[in-house]
Amino acid sequence: MKREEGYVYLSGEFARRVRKRAAVLFSCFLLIPAALVALMFVATGFWDVFLIVALIALACDALFVLANGLCYASRFCFTVTDSTIRIRRGLCCRKLTVLRFCDVLRVRVKRYFRKKKVGTGVQEYKGAGKSALRFLSETEAVYDVRLYCGSGKYDLKYLSQASAAAVLSYFEDENDERIFARGE
């Protein structure tokens, strides 16, 4: 995918994490058509109905769960301008959402910490508990910013500290009443 100038994209490790979640969700939803096929053999008079419903469930699963997970991981990005936040997210397409800062009613910020397991190369992301704060530095924090508007809520996930600070800097001041939860 061609990356555009000025947009912030998910990092590679978080894109892999989103793809893994999509694969797990896809396999869980595969149980619905499997149950319908098993029901076909129990109620033999309704084979055609069960078959059509199973195929529709399988198609919806493939389109909405798997395709959205794969496209979200590689296409999700955002950019911040003087008065708006432009969020691109996609289900096999480029869907653009433009939010004006004056339309944002509330902002919620969560902070997570990266914990590296020595020798395995596996990275976990834990909440900001006291034990995590004791061992980890500020630069290993990952931020989620949720913007509440009249039209819904929009998440900017897996941001670095600099990206989260850039988004929050566009609100009036440091003590803006719309920002109701900061991960301190």
Question: Which percentage of the chain shows pLDDT scores above 70?
Answer: 58
pLDDT confidence tier of residue 90, bands split at 50, 70 and 90: low
What Å distances lie between residue 104 and 2, 62, 78, 100, CA to CA? 30, 33, 16, 7
pLDDT confidence tier of residue 151, bands split at 50, 70 and 90: confident
The pLDDT value recorded for residue 139 is: 44
User: 67-75 vs 12-29: helix axis angle to the nearest 10?
Assistant: 170
User: Is the pTM of the predicted complex or chain greater than 0.85?
Assistant: no
Q: Is the distance from CB of 90 to CB of 75 less than 8 angstroms?
A: yes
Other CB atoms within a 10 A radius of the CB of residue 160 amount to 14
The pLDDT value recorded for residue 130 is: 40
- Please state the domain extents for the chain: 8-75, 78-181
Q: Which residue has the tokens 């990092």?
A: 11
